[in-house]
Amino acid sequence: MLVTNKELLRKAQKEAYAVGAFNIQNLESLLAVVEAAVEEESPVIVAVTPSAIKYGGLNYLAGLVKTAAEVSPIPISLHLDHGEDVETVKKCLEAGFTSVMIDGSHLPFEENISLTKRVVDLAHQKGVSVEGELGRLAGIEEKTVAEREAVLTDPIEAEEFVRRTGVDALAVSIGTSHGAYKFKGEPKLDFERLKQIRERVDVPLVLHGASSVPQWIIEKATKYGAELAGAKGIPEDHIRKAIALGITKINIDTDLRLAFTATIREVLATSPKEFDPRKILGPAKEAMKEVVKAKMRLFGSSGKA
């Protein structure tokens, strides 16, 4: 069943849990996400980036997700993650996406509003929900106070941004970052800032760069040759606190990539005679699936489909 992010997130906001948005690149990653959602009876957002579209093909990926939605008993949203421009958004709308994100966070405030509002007008005509972003994701533990303030989301600006653009969800920056190397020291998320944003903004709030980089995955990958020294993610207790303070959508990509890569390395190292792609990719899919299931339990979405 294909639905919009707005439908999924409003329910999550009302019932105080978060829906996971899991990035896919191919059939195995999609199967991992959807099978996990079915087994956990959880709503799920299948996220596709412009780079994934370039790799896998827009119509191929959209077709896979729409097929999965037709045969699965759980609500699924097909979401454009970090859309870069209006043309990409238009192509995704034509391909049947039910949600799009336009990322104007790198732009000056007024230009971000203008770009986001244009996308909102286009998407809402087709009944598609829109996520905007205010603030930029970056490692911030060593920045000055002034630099930190420039990167993180300003609560007053967030209120104005939502009012003027009409977005259905807002991605905020409170100290998370993309990739496997999120912190050099201890994690420092600005929960007070998140609380202030929640008090001013009614739409669902989104947390990007929230992979936990589980130690067991790092250990397995390293055992079989990966070089991941210093990889560190968001502690699970931080995720729980963020949800309690109003986060209703959490993006996960890095943890899936790590699980996939670690397992591929393991299979190739322990079964050197294996050349059947199904027996190499199959275990990797299962590893990603276990990661997704664990996230759904952590986010509180299990049993909410």
Three-state secondary structure readout of 207-246: ECCCCCCCHHHHHHHHHCCCCCCCCECCCHHHHHHHHHCC
CB atoms within 10 A of CB 273: 4
Residue 220: CA count within 13 A, CB half-sphere: 20
Residue 148: burial class (beta carbons within 10 Å; 0-12, 13-18, 19+)? middle
Tell me, yes or no, if 81 is annotated catalytic: yes
Amino acid at 185: G
Residue 206 parent element (H or E): strand 205-207
Kindly report the CA angle at 171 between 31 and 72, in degrees rounded to 5? 25
- Quick one: tokens of 154? 């300003």
179 and 254 Cβ atoms separated by less than 8 Å: yes
Catalytic residue among 81, 103, 154, 168: 81
Residue 23 is inside which H or E element, if any?
strand 19-23
- What residues are labeled active site? 81
